[in-house]
C-alpha cells in the first residue's frame, strides 16, 4: 500500500528525532566523561597540594625543634661554664695569654737586635790552644767558660789593633746550677802572650785581638775557652743606664777620680755627664759607674780597679735579674750594637733569657795575693804569678772545685820560664 506524503514526512520526523536523541546521549556521555576527568584532576591536584603543605609543615617543625635543641645545648653549656668560672682564675688566664704574647713579641724583637752585634768567627787555632789534658777533663765539661774583655777604645773599634784590654775576666757558668764565678786576670800579669813572648797579658789583645787573647788564657791557665764578649766603656754605660743605674758606696778620693775620668770620656767620645758631688752610698748613672771602673790610682792600684770592675758587673747583673722584660729589651738595645762576640744569635738569646736565673756566687783575681810578686821584665813593670802552677791550681779550685788539680806540661813549662825572670 502506497504511503501518502503525510505518513512519509511523519516517519522522517520520527527518525530525525530518534537520531537527535542518540546524538544527545552520546554528547551527554562524553560531557560526563570530561567532567569526571576534570574532577579527578582537581582532586589529585588538591591532594598533592595538601601533601606538599603537610611536608612543609613537618619540615618547619623539624627545623624549629632542631633550633630549640641547639639553643638548649648552648644554654646548658653556658650554665656549666658559668658554674665553673672564677674571676681570679679568669684573670690569671688572661694574664698568661698576655705574657705569652708579650714574650713572643719580645723574643722576635730581641732576635732582630742580635743581628746588630759585631759577630766574630774565631779561627781553629783557638781549639788547638786547649791542651789534651783539658779536653779530657770531665769536670770542666759541666761549665761554660767565656772570656770577657773590656777595651778602652776611643774610636769604638772593639777589634782594632791598638786596643789593649783594660779588663780581662773569665766568666764560668755552671750549666746545671746556674752559678756564675768571675775571675779577673790582672792586665799587668806576665804570661806567654803567644809565640814564646812573655809580656803583660793585656798586650795579647792589642797584637792579635780576641783570638790571641783567648789562646793566651787557654795555654797559660789550662782553660777551654772558645767564646768571648768584648765591650767598650760606652756600651757598659748605656747598659747600666737602661737598667736604671746602680747603687754603691764610694770614697772621697774615688769621687775625685771619677769626675776626672768622666771629663776625659767627654773629650774622647762626647759622652755627656753629671759630676759626682758627694761620697758615701750613691746612685750612679752609667757613665759614672764606668768612670768608677776605670780608677786605678788609689790604694790597691790595678788590683783594686779589677775589684771595682767585678763589683759593678755584679750590681749590673743584679739589676738585670730585677728588671722587667721592657727594661731588659731596652738594655739589650743599648748594648748589643756596641758588642763584639763569637757567640751566635741563639747562644746570645739563651744567655739573655737565662740572666734572671744566674747567680754570681764568687769573684776573685789572678794571680792570687798569696802567690804573686812584682818585677821589671823586658823593661815593663809586671805582676808575676809566682808560682804559675800554684796559681793555676787555685784557679781551678775556685772555678771548678778541683782541689787536687795537676797543671799540664805547658803550664809547668811556662812556670819555669816566668820564674827564671825573678830568680
Domains with residue ranges and CATH for the chain: 117-243+313-422 (3.40.630.190)
Residue with cell 736604671: 244
pLDDT at 102: 46
The predicted pLDDT at position 219 comes to 97
The pLDDT value given to residue 4: 66
Kindly tell me the sign of the dihedral angle through the C-alpha atoms of 339, 345, 351, 356.
positive
Q: What is the CA radius of gyration of the chain?
A: 48
Q: How many helices (H) and strands (E) does the chain have?
A: 13, 13
pLDDT, greater one: 25 or 290:
290
| Strand bridging mode 165-174 / 143-151 | antiparallel
Q: What's the rounded Cα separation, in Å, for the pair 112 and 336?
A: 11
Who contacts 396 (Cβ-Cβ below 8 Å, separation ≥6)?
222, 402, 405
pTM score, whole prediction: 0.72
E strand spans, 26-129? 118-119
Cα separation, 108 vs 142, in Å, equals: 30
pLDDT category, 105, cuts 50, 70, 90?
very low
Band of pLDDT at residue 103, cut at 50, 70 and 90: very low
What H or E segment, with its residue span, contains residue 90?
A: helix 87-114
Bridging pattern class, strands 179-185 and 190-192: unpaired
Distance CA 129, CA 211 (A): 10
Q: Which three cell numbers stand for residue 279?
A: 761620697
Region 357-372 average pLDDT: 92
| Selection from 47, 23, 388 nearest residue 191 by Cα | 388
∠ at Cα 58 (56, 63), nearest 5°? 95
- Residues 6 or more apart whose CB falls under 8 angstroms from that of 302 comprise 186, 187, 188, 296, 383
List helix spans (H) across 274-387. 286-294, 301-322, 325-335, 345-354
Distance CA 290, CA 71 (A): 69
Q: What is the pLDDT of residue 332?
A: 74
For residues 116 and 131, give the distance between their C-alpha atoms in angstroms, rounded to a whole number. Answer: 34
- Residue 387: all three cell numbers together: 808560682
pLDDT digits (tens, 9 = 90+) for 234-281: 888 888 998 899 999 999 999 999 999 998 888 777 778 899 999 999
Where does the pLDDT of residue 161 fall: very low under 50, low under 70, confident under 90, or very high at 90 and above? low
* Lookup: cell for 369: 795575693
| The pLDDT of residue 68 | 80
- Per-residue confidence (pLDDT) for residue 347, from 0 to 100: 80
Measured CA distances, 407 to 194, 212, 224 (Å): 19, 21, 13
Average pLDDT over residues 123-150: 93
Alpha carbons 111 and 197: distance in angstroms, whole number: 41
20 exposure class (CB count in 10 Å sphere: 0-12, 13-18, 19+): exposed
Q: Give mean pLDDT, residues 137-161.
A: 81
Residue 396, C-alpha cell as written in the block = 781551678
Rounded-to-integer distance, Cα 360 and Cα 412, Å: 31
Q: Give the integer Cα–Cα distance in Å for 320 and 111.
A: 18
Give the span between the Cα atoms of 348 and 336, in whole angstroms: 10
Q: What does the pLDDT read at residue 89?
A: 47
For the chain, give the percent of residues with pLDDT over 90. 44
Task: Identify the top-confidence range among 1-5, 32-36, 51-55.
Answer: 51-55
Of 29-33, 39-43, 183-187, 195-199, least confident by mean pLDDT is: 29-33
Residue with cell 650554665: 79
Query: What pLDDT score was predicted for residue 9?
Result: 65
Higher pLDDT, 144 or 78: 144
Other C-beta atoms lying within 10 Å of the C-beta of residue 68: 10
Q: Is the pLDDT of residue 11 over 70?
A: no
Q: Exposed, middle or buried, 256 (CB in 10 Å: 0-12/13-18/19+)?
A: middle
Q: Between helices 233-242 and 301-322, what is the axis angle to 10°?
A: 40
Output the pLDDT for position 423: 83
How confident is the model at residue 24, as a pLDDT? 59
Average pLDDT taken over every residue of the chain: 82
Instruction: Name the helix (H) or strand (E) containing 253.
Output: helix 252-269
> How far are the Cα atoms of 145, 172, 406 from residue 400, in angstroms, in the given order?
11, 9, 13
Amino acid at each position: 500500500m502506497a504511503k501518502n506524503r503525510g505518513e512519509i514526512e511523519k516517519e522522517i520526523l520520527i527518525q530525525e528525532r530518534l537520531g537527535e536523541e542518540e546524538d544527545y546521549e552520546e554528547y551527554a556521555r562524553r560531557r560526563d566523561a570530561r567532567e569526571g576527568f576534570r574532577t579527578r584532576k582537581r582532586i589529585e591536584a588538591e591532594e598533592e597540594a595538601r601533601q606538599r603543605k603537610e611536608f612543609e609543615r613537618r619540615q618547619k617543625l623539624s627545623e624549629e625543634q632542631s633550633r630549640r635543641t641547639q639553643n638548649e645545648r648552648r644554654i646548658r653549656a653556658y650554665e656549666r661554664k658559668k658554674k665553673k668560672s672564677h674571676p681570679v682564675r679568669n684573670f690569671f688566664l688572661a694574664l698568661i695569654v698576655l705574657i705569652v704574647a708579650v714574650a713572643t713579641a719580645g723574643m722576635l724583637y730581641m732576635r732582630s737586635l742580635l743581628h746588630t752585634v759585631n759577630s766574630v768567627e774565631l779561627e781553629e787555632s783557638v781549639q788547638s790552644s786547649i791542651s789534651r789534658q783539658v779536653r779530657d777533663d770531665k769536670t770542666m765539661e759541666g761549665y761554660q767558660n767565656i772570656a770577657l774583655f773590656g777595651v778602652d777604645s776611643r774610636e769604638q773599634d772593639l777589634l782594632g789593633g791598638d786596643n789593649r784590654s783594660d779588663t780581662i775576666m773569665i766568666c764560668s757558668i755552671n750549666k746545671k746550677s746556674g752559678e756564675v764565678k768571675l775571675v779577673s786576670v790582672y792586665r799587668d800579669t806576665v804570661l806567654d802572650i803567644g809565640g814564646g813572648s812573655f809580656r803583660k797579658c793585656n798586650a795579647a789583645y792589642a797584637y792579635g785581638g780576641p783570638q790571641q787573647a783567648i789562646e793566651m788564657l787557654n795555654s797559660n791557665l789550662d782553660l777551654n775557652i772558645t767564646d768571648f764578649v768584648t765591650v767598650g766603656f760606652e756600651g757598659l754605660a748605656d747598659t747600666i743606664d737602661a737598667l736604671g743605674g746602680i747603687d754603691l758606696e764610694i770614697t772621697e778620693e774615688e769621687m775625685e777620680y771619677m769626675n776626672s775620668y768622666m771629663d776625659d770620656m767627654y773629650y774622647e767620645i762626647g759622652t755627656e755627664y753629671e759630676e759626682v758631688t758627694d761620697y758615701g752610698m750613691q746612685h750612679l748613672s752609667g757613665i759614672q759607674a764606668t768612670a768608677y771602673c776605670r780608677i786605678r790610682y788609689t790604694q790597691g792600684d790595678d788590683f783594686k780597679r779589677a775589684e771595682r770592675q767585678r763589683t759593678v758587673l755584679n750590681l749590673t747583673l743584679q739589676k738585670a735579674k730585677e728588671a722587667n722584660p721592657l727594661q731588659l729589651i731596652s738594655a739589650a738595645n743599648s748594648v748589643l750594637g756596641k758588642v763584639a762576640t763569637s757567640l751566635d744569635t741563639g747562644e746570645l738569646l739563651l744567655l739573655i733569657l737565662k740572666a734572671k736565673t744566674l747567680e754570681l756566687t764568687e769573684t776573685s783575681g789572678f794571680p792570687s795575693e798569696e802567690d804573686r810578686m812584682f818585677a821589671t821584665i823586658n823593661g815593663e813593670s809586671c805582676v808575676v804569678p809566682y808560682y804559675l802552677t800554684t796559681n793555676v791550681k787555685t784557679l781551678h779550685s775556685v772555678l771548678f772545685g778541683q782541689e787536687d788539680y795537676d797543671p799540664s806540661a805547658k803550664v809547668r813549662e811556662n812556670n819555669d820560664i816566668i820564674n827564671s825572670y825573678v830568680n
